[in-house]
Amino acid sequence: MTGTVTHDPPPGAPGRPLIVTEDAELLDDLLRLCAAAGATPEVHHGVPDHGDGWETAPLVLVGDDAARRVGGAARRRGVVLVGRDQDDSGVWKRAVQIGADHVLMLPDGEQWLVDRIADVAEGVGRPALTVGVIGGRGGAGASTLACALAVTSAREGLRTLLVDADPLGGGLDVLLGGESAEGLRWPAFAASRGRVGGGALEESLPELHALRVLSWDRGDCVAVPHQAVRAVLAAARRRGGTVVVDLPRRLDDGVAEALAQLDLALLVVPADLRAVAAAGRVASAVGMVVRDVRVAVRGPYAPGLDGREVARLLGLPLAGEVPVEPALLRPQSGAKPPGATGRGPLARFCTAFWERALVEAGGAR
């Protein structure tokens, strides 16, 4: 059980949580939860003599046994009163007396507390701007655009993760010329549940063209549980910067989890009537999960069609017109990836897209 008394602490830099308790059994539990969250706490029986630990720790866990001993300490945010007696109504009064933000009872609140400790150990800032790219029909060039967007983001100095959510697509690491690069692929995360450390995730993935890539290997695994997709993408978002997700046109539980993490989706639609008809069905399915769906129209254009008309037919806002660069639609292993040079119409499209999207999201991340 957890309960809110006042307010949450603000996001901040990583640091060591402070534990204040003389209850040996409670201390063992809190140390175990800190270890599960990847944090090494500072432990005291009361308010630290020097005072700095109380004031500067990103999170303070006060055992119910220590509530009276910390009653005279300076009020601060980020204090959690931890107890065990679910029937003790006096815990709320003690929480108010010490200025606690939350009251937490073990063992019910263990997962909440692990997540909270991990947040302060890792440091939590603004979440990544997460963009999904999906083709309105097969061969629309969604993977090419996803790679170009990720490469452009990294070239602009943003922390960038490119996620391949299409196990049947051949692997975005191949598209980037990095199929032999060291690092983990999706099958390694199939057993992930709960919380995945953002820093550990980033460090475990191949680094290609100044960005991290989560792709598929060439094995037999063609799906991971949706719980793993949720855990991995949530960890990626906590790192900040940008996350670009290349999505398949088929929708299953894993893809639905990926869609739920998106800030916006780009629907890549070739400018012909058959593609527009197919894209309408895709847009309907994606729009059930993603609030912000935009159309990226790719030429050449059929008679009577342009970007605005395609967007009007689909009833979606126009993100822009994706320039035709035929050589980039069939890149060879080892070649420069889409958008790598920073020159050409595709690179200019991607640069303009990020400039608008980042401003709409509140500035660079």
CATH architecture of 129-364: 3-Layer(aba) Sandwich (3.40)
Give 87-137 pLDDT, tens digit per residue: 888 999 999 999 999 999 999 999 889 888 887 877 666 889 999 999 999
- Segment 313-346, tens digit of pLDDT: 999 999 999 877 655 455 444 467 777 777 888 8
List residues bridging with 44 in a β-sheet: 20
Model confidence, pTM: 0.75
User: Model confidence over 214-238: pLDDT tens digits?
Assistant: 999 888 888 899 999 999 998 899 8
The per-residue pLDDT for 301 is 86
pLDDT of residue 14: 59
- Side chain identity at 276, as an amino acid letter? V
HSE at residue 346, side-chain half, CA atoms within 13 A, is 24
Fold agreement between 18-122 and 129-364: yes
Q: Is the pLDDT of residue 9 over 90?
A: no
Sheet containing strand 102-105, edge to edge, reads 2-4, 102-105, 79-83, 60-63, 18-20, 42-44
Q: What is the mean pLDDT of the chain?
A: 88
pLDDT of residue 332: 46
CATH topology of domain 18-122: Rossmann fold (3.40.50)
Q: How far apart are the C-alpha atoms of 355 and 24, rounded to whole Å?
A: 54
127-145 pLDDT per residue, tens: 899 999 999 999 889 999 9
Of the candidates 352, 165, 157, the one whose C-alpha atom is nearest the C-alpha of residue 240 is 157
Kindly report, residue by residue over 34-65, the tens digit of the pLDDT.
Answer: 988 878 999 999 888 765 689 889 999 999 99
Of residues 357 and 344, more confidently modeled: 357
List the chain domain ranges. Answer: 18-122, 129-364
